[in-house]
Each structure stands twice: as structure tokens, then as C-alpha cells.
Amino acid sequence: RCINDFVIISDIGRGAYGLVKKVRLKGENGEPTGPEFVVKYIIKSRILADCWRRHKTLGPIPVEIHVMDQLRRLPYTRPKVAAPWAPERLFARQAPENRTLSPITICHPSLCVMLDFFEDHEFYYLVMPYLTGTQPGRDNSQDLFDFVESAPDGLSTIEVRSIFGQVADGVRFLHANSIVHRDIKDENVILDFRDGRAHAQLIDFGSAAHVRPGRLFDTFSGTLDYAAAEILRGEKYGGKEQDVWALGVVGYVLLCGDCPFWNGEEAVEGIAAGTRADNALRDRCLIGEGRPGDPREASAPDTTPEDSGQIDGGGRLDDAADLIRQCLQLDVALRPTAAQVCDHRFLSGRAGW
């Protein structure tokens, strides 16, 4: 296959290392035919020396292609979250007895799948699905940044829990297979609206890498607004903990509509009491002395599922605030794993995400 097999419909975006276009296959008469796809062009001459990986049959290829080729072959079983309401604990220590498993699928539904790839003398080409679903009443937006911007009154708790849970489970799957994304942000989460809900997919594996025990990264090619405090301090890092920090920033954006930190100085301070980020989170989640709160979404120690934000348990705003604070924990050793994030009480409930 070659790029001339496609008809370019429009440009989607471009960056330092390549560009992205919307395409359709070229029919016998030269006219576009069939569904729309996304093709990412990776400029060969701009691939950094440490961004190559040797493939057992293809030889040296970019890490991005190696990772996406691996992901499209990995089996995934999605748990049907049915955790009982448990106010006494925030992180589940073990899987609930009544948790069931869904059928095994290939590739995680919250990770963008690579359908094909090929190359010529100038580019590598990655072919991926083009998500076309839209939500009635909102702008025809695709990424999470635009989706949040299109909701000036804020997202519902159901939307926050669903989108965050899907992305978090995708990151859990990556980490379970020794892969780190390293550029998690709202613009790298694409939404496809089907069946009355938003289906989230994490995209752009251009900064992804494989992790090995004892190996630390000393370079960062992600987005500074989502960079963990230790990265901003110039420290070496393992990768997984920093993905979780970025998840926390995504969760904060979903809740508050803005990044928690406006500069590096704020980020290295974290969500400390009295900071701008802390105050905004408290205001959004109705937390604080003298604040009566919203009886549908704020919690008390003896609340039942019926008193919470979701009648099936989970999804309460103060639990959401706790989960975000855990992800943005300054002490890397105390930051939860992606698997622990998925087991947090905010994401519990019979309806799952």
C-alpha cells in the first residue's frame, strides 16, 4: 500500500515531527470511496535517535509504530465494575466477589488502534479509524479539550466518571504491558458519541516508551501543563507515576474546566491547602467547613448509594476530589498506580463507567 491509494479530504493537524490528515480510499475512477480514515505522517528525518525500536521482522522502526503494532495484538478483558458501596475505604484492596468479566477482545477500546502502516523515502504512514460520532446540542468537537470548552456550565458527574474511568483503564492496560504514554492530556483524548454516551480513546503514542525495571528517563517530550512536579524539577523519572499525575490533571480539567497549574511554580507546589488549584477544586466539589454541599453529590460518612451522586454507588464529587489529589500527590512513592486509580471509590458503581 502507498499514500497514493488514498484521497486526502482535509488536514487535521501538524506538529514538529509530522502531520495528520483525514482521508478516504481512492476508487477505480479516482474518486474517494468507503469510510473516512486518519493518516498520520511521521517525518523520518526528524525521528530522534532514542525513538527507534528493533522489530523482530521489520527491523528498526519508530517506537510509536512498534507500540501501536503491539497494542493491536494484545487481548483485553474489561471488568464490569460492580463494587459494593464502601464508605470506609477509598482504594479497593481486592476485587469484589461479585465482579464479573466481559468477553475478551483484541486491543483496548480506550486506546487508538492502528489499522495499517507503510513507508516511503520521506515518511512513515499510520492508518487509524476516524471517529465520526457527535453529541446533539454540542459543537462537532472531537477532542476532550474542545468538549470541555463546549460545556461552559461544566460536565455532569456521570460524564466525568465515564470519561475519566475509560482513560484511566486504558492507562492501566498500557502499564500492565510495560508501556508508558508520556503525553497524556486533554487534546490527546478523542471522544466518539455512540449509544448516548461518550466513548473515549487515548491517541498519539509519539512519546510512548517501554519501561524496564530500574530504567529511568532523563528527557521529557510531553506537554508542560501535564508534566509531573519531579519532571519540572529536572529529576529522572520512571514513567508510570508521571502518567498517573497527567491523569490527575485530566481529571481536574474534567471537573473544573481548567488546568490546575498555570505555571511550573504552581505545579511543584501541588494542590496544597490554600492554593488556587485547591480552592477551585473545593468550590467545584462543594467541600469545606460551612459548605452545605449538594445532597445529590457531596458525601457524609454514613451516606448510602441512594444518597450519593449515582444511585448505583460511586460518582460522588468529594470522592472525585480525593482521587484527583491522590493522582497529584507530590511524593511519587505515595502516588497510586493506574490499577489503584481504577479501583477508587469514585469509579465504583454497578453501571461502571
Q: Bigger pLDDT: 277 or 14?
A: 277
Q: How far is it, in rounded angstroms, from Cα 347 to Cα 176? A: 19
If asked whether residues 216 and 241 sit together in one domain, one would say yes
**pLDDT score recorded for residue 194:** 75
- Percentage of residues in the chain having pLDDT higher than 90: 61
If asked whether residues 210 and 259 sit together in one domain, one would say yes
- State the chain's mean pLDDT as an integer: 84
**pLDDT score recorded for residue 93:** 39
Q: Are strands 32-43 and 52-55 parallel, antiparallel or unpaired?
A: unpaired
If asked whether residues 123 and 194 sit together in one domain, one would say no
**Which residue, chain included where needed, has cell 460545556?**
151
Q: How far is it, in rounded angstroms, from Cα 272 to Cα 266? A: 10
**pLDDT score recorded for residue 137:** 53
Here the cell at position 296 is 445529590
**Any bridge partners for residue 202, and if so which?**
111, 189
If asked whether residues 245 and 305 sit together in one domain, one would say yes
Q: Is residue 319 part of a domain?
A: yes
If asked whether residues 152 and 258 sit together in one domain, one would say yes
If asked whether residues 181 and 247 sit together in one domain, one would say yes
The H-assigned helical ranges of 15-137 are: 63-71
- CATH number for the domain including 25? 3.30.200.20
**pLDDT score recorded for residue 99:** 43
Q: Residue 25: which of 42, 6, 52, 12 has the closest Cα? A: 6
Q: Is residue 352 part of a domain?
A: no
Q: How far is it, in rounded angstroms, from Cα 252 to Cα 100? A: 30
If asked whether residues 235 and 284 sit together in one domain, one would say yes
Q: Structural domain of residue 51, as residue ranges?
A: 1-72+112-129
Phi/psi region, residue 252 (left: phi>0; alpha: psi -120 to 50; beta: rest), is alpha
**Which residue, chain included where needed, has cell 493506574?**
338
Give pTM, 2 decimals: 0.85
Domain count, the chain: 2
120-139 average pLDDT score: 78
Here the cell at position 143 is 477532542
If asked whether residues 99 and 190 sit together in one domain, one would say yes
191-220 average pLDDT score: 89
Q: Residue 185: which of 245, 139, 266, 114 has the closest Cα? A: 245
Does the annotation place 240 within a ligand binding site? no
What are the pLDDT digits (tens) for 250-309?
A: 999 999 999 999 999 999 999 999 999 999 999 998 765 433 344 334 333 334 444 444
96 has a pLDDT exceeding 90: no
Q: Is residue 5 part of a domain?
A: yes
Q: Is residue 164 part of a domain?
A: yes
If asked whether residues 61 and 97 sit together in one domain, one would say no
- Percentage of residues in the chain having pLDDT higher than 70: 80
- Give the type of residue at 284: R
125-152 average pLDDT score: 77
- CATH number for the domain including 218? 1.10.510.10
Q: Is residue 353 part of a domain?
A: no
123 has a pLDDT exceeding 60: yes
Q: Is residue 217 part of a domain?
A: yes
**pLDDT score recorded for residue 244:** 99
62 has a pLDDT exceeding 50: yes
**pLDDT score recorded for residue 316:** 84
312 has a pLDDT exceeding 60: no
Q: Is residue 284 part of a domain?
A: yes
If asked whether residues 181 and 298 sit together in one domain, one would say yes
Query: pLDDT category, 78, cuts 50, 70, 90?
Result: confident
Whether residue 247 contacts residue 144, with contact meaning beta carbons closer than 8 Å, is answered with no
220-242 average pLDDT score: 95
What are the pLDDT digits (tens) for 321-350?
A: 999 999 999 999 999 999 999 999 898 766
183 is catalytic: yes
Of 139, 169, 183, 283, the active-site residue reads 183
215-241 average pLDDT score: 94
If asked whether residues 21 and 163 sit together in one domain, one would say no
Cα dihedral 306→311→314→317 (10° resolution):
-80
If asked whether residues 147 and 35 sit together in one domain, one would say no
Q: Is residue 22 part of a domain?
A: yes
Q: How many CB atoms sit inside 10 A of residue 144's CB?
A: 23
